[in-house]
């Protein structure tokens, strides 16, 4: 999981920034659509990377391919429908990452089928795909303050939700421990491969029907 290949680190910068920005922007956009203007008022409804980057999360994403951005401040009391708002906002970030990875996968395959062979470009596109898949999966972990915890909190009794929220003070330490052990890889790497294969299947199937329609 941890690697320090200089070429990959440099080539991964576009993927890092895109994964971070699209994730947090999606949270802010959907929260705004659900009735909460807090992200707009705090300057998070933007594609400017500076507004979203968390330095430690960026470093972890760079060296471990799993990390986080600065959380978007949200006031769930402003949602027109609290439960629906929490679910949609929690899923918005990971879904945005998966969609961006799918788009980049399609571009990668188009270039490949077109005979375009540029090692540097291929590496950048591959890392954009991987970083977005990993970022989406990572944030679905049910550990506060990650999106997965907000998602399951909606369905928990109040007492359990409070107990889960109290774990946040230990979250960073728990994540470091998990990343340093095989447990993390055993869970997340298979999920990464599953999403990657789903992307491949979707893009291949989409192009197949396009070719049948126009050729």
Catalytically annotated residues: 24
CA nearest neighbour of 154 among 88, 65, 96? 88
Report the candidate in 36, 19, 167 with the shortest Cα–Cα distance to residue 89: 36
Peptide bond into 145 cis (omega under 30): yes
CA atoms in the 13 A half-sphere facing the CB of 35: 11
Closest by alpha carbon to 135, among 101, 159, 105? 101
């Amino acid at each position: 999981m941890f690697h320090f290949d200089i070429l990959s680190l440099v080539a991964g910068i576009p993927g890092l920034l895109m994964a971070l920005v699209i994730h947090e922007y999606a949270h802010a956009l959907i929260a705004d659509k659900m009735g909460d203007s807090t992200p707009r008022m705090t300057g998070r409804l933007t594609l400017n990377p500076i507004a979203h980057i968390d330095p430690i999360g960026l470093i972890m994403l760079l060296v471990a391919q799993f990390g986080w951005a600065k959380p978007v401040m949200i006031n769930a009391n402003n949602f027109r429908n609290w439960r629906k708002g929490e679910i949609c906002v929690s899923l918005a970030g990971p879904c945005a990452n998966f969609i961006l990875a799918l788009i980049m996968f399609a571009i990668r395959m188009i270039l490949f089928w077109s005979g375009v062979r540029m090692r540097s470009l291929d590496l950048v596109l591959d890392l954009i795909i991987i970083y977005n898949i990993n970022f989406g999966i990572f944030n679905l972990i049910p550990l506060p303050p990650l999106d997965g915890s907000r998602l399951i909190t909606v369905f928990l009794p109040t007492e359990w939700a409070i107990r889960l929220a109290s774990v946040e003070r230990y979250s960073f330490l728990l994540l470091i421990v998990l990343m340093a052990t095989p447990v993390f890889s055993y869970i997340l790497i298979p999920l990464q491969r599953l999403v990657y294969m789903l992307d491949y299947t979707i893009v291949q199937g989409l192009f197949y029907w396009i070719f049948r329609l126009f050729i």
